[in-house]
Amino acid sequence: MTRQQLKYKRKSVVNRKNALIDATLSLIASKGIKGATVRAIAQHANVTQGLIRYYFNTKEQLITAAYRHHMGRLTQVTFAPLNSMPEEGPATRLATFVASGLVPPVVDPGSLSVWASFINKVQNDKTMRETHRETYFEFRDCLEMLIREALVEAGKPASEEGLRQLAIATNAVIDGLWLEGGALPDAFERGELAVIGVRSVSAIIGIDLPEGKSDK
Amino acid sequence: MTRQQLKYKRKSVVNRKNALIDATLSLIASKGIKGATVRAIAQHANVTQGLIRYYFNTKEQLITAAYRHHMGRLTQVTFAPLNSMPEEGPATRLATFVASGLVPPVVDPGSLSVWASFINKVQNDKTMRETHRETYFEFRDCLEMLIREALVEAGKPASEEGLRQLAIATNAVIDGLWLEGGALPDAFERGELAVIGVRSVSAIIGIDLPEGKSDK
DNA sequence: CAATTGATTATACAAGTGTATAAAAATTGG
DNA sequence: CCAATTTTTATACACTTGTATAATCAATTG
């Protein structure tokens, strides 16, 4: 009584894990957390459901890994432009950083959906809460540094408390525009959010920032 | 073979519906959307699970009603202070409006969790998308009006396009601070978000707004 | 190329899910 | 106070969920 089994190709561990994580994020992005069942994930990744447990002891582990992956990608995409222009002045660097978080693929309904789906787990799971906290402060500290340098350059240095508040405010502008762009993608012109973001940050810290981010 | 049935009190339709909606929102706030099962909701509302279907044809209906209820409450709490001071000047009214959305119970982990839990459904369900759209533009249009009046008062009227962008930016500041306050409640002092919010909006629109919102 | 190891599939299972329906209790009207 | 109606409970059901395990196939290695 031999059972006929489908043919398959073996993949490396990281390939499989990434494929499963991608399938998970893709499903959460489109159908929410409820759409990310083990069976749906397996189907989306073109494997059978048993394989998931071979790579992840539990579904919770897969979900947690997917969250880290998503946040890591957001961070990476946002920081990349900054790292590729180490020789520019502080004002330009700050403007670039702000704008890079306000265009696709960071601003995106799916990206927002994934982030939102994890919020509750972040609040209840200690590990995820720590990941979230780190991501947030990584952003904010970077902003604070960029703002400090820009203010020094302009000859208007601020106090530590002042810097903290400016960083919180600037971060809020970015997060708020990111949120709105993801929640109502049709309500804004292309590139509009980035322009508004840079202009607002410019006003908040009291420094003229270069707006016309050359598309190259 | 008569079965022993528990005693109970009958309640009015609106009372029951509200109780079920409250239980739903409470569960979503603490345990996320997955925690809001019909059985858990019924237990939280001290009824048996069958009753839910008596008041709501389907669980989807209950969820949708809960979403409307939550958004309506947020709107109400934010607009209440504004409506209670119709005789104040535009600047004061704007500052009050901004600040009222940046203190509890609007800024709150549970409130954020509920909002986030619905984001995906909002993107996929036409009815909920419309509710969301209306809520957003109700806020933004109100902000735009307050900003317009404040600018006129200060003798710096802006163009329509300029006003639109200022409203988007101001709304983003509020949303961003709201989001951060709900996601990391321990990261900010009490009242800090409101102060930063008013100060930022002040800088963005270029008008001095009264900061010290008297606690009365 | 045979044998062993490791990856993948197939299948089963218990628990939880939303929904459906009949019985029982509470309320109302005559 | 009895009959009719509405609200609430109790129970059942089919389906989905995450997990567990054994069979089977692919790759590696000697």
Q: Which stretches in chain A have pLDDT values below 50? A: 1-2, 213-216
**Total domains in the fold of chain A:** 2
Residues A159-186 as b/e (b if ≥16 CB within 10 A, e otherwise) read eeeebbbbbbbbbbbbbbbbbbbbbbee
Q: Left (φ > 0), alpha (ψ -120 to 50) or beta: where does B112 sit?
A: alpha
Q: For residue B144, which amino acid is it?
A: E
Residue B7 has pLDDT above 90, yes or no: no
Give me the helix-helix angle, A59-83 and A126-153, nearest 10°: 10
* Residue of chain A nearest B164, judged by CA positions: A196
Per-residue pLDDT of B61-114, as tens digits, reads 999 999 999 999 999 999 999 999 988 999 999 999 999 999 999 999 999 999
pLDDT category at B6 given cuts 50, 70, 90 is: low
List, as one string, the DSSP characters of A81-127. Answer: HHHT-TTS-HHHHHHHHHHHTTSTTTS-HHHHHHHHHHHHHHHH-HH
Q: In this structure, is residue A46 part of a structural domain?
A: yes
Q: What confidence score (pLDDT) does residue B139 get?
A: 96
User: Among A133, A142, A153, which residue's Cα sits nearest to residue A210?
Assistant: A153
Domain stop point among B22, B40, B56: B56
The answer to whether residues A77 and A154 belong to one domain is yes
Residues B186 and B119 in one domain: yes
Taking CB atoms and an 8 Å cutoff, what residues of chain A touch B31? 120, 124
Q: B1 in a domain, yes or no?
A: no
- Residue B60: is its pLDDT beyond 50? yes
pLDDT attached to residue B1: 41
pLDDT of B162 > 90? The answer is yes
> Based on the domain organization, do A107 and A201 belong to the same domain?
yes
H or E stretch including B111? helix B109-124
Q: Do A33 and B34 touch (CB under 8 A)?
A: yes
CA dihedral A26, A30, A34, A35 (to 10 degrees): -60
Residue with the larger pLDDT of the pair B8 and B86: B86
pLDDT in tens, B9-48: 778 889 999 999 999 999 999 999 999 999 999 999 999 9
- Report if CB B37 to strand C is under 7 Å: yes
A1 touches strand C (CB under 7 A): no
Nearest to B123 among A109, A115, A192 (CB): A109
Task: Express each pLDDT in A75-119 by its tens digit.
Answer: 999 999 999 998 999 999 999 999 999 999 999 999 999 999 999
Residue A128 structural domain: 64-205
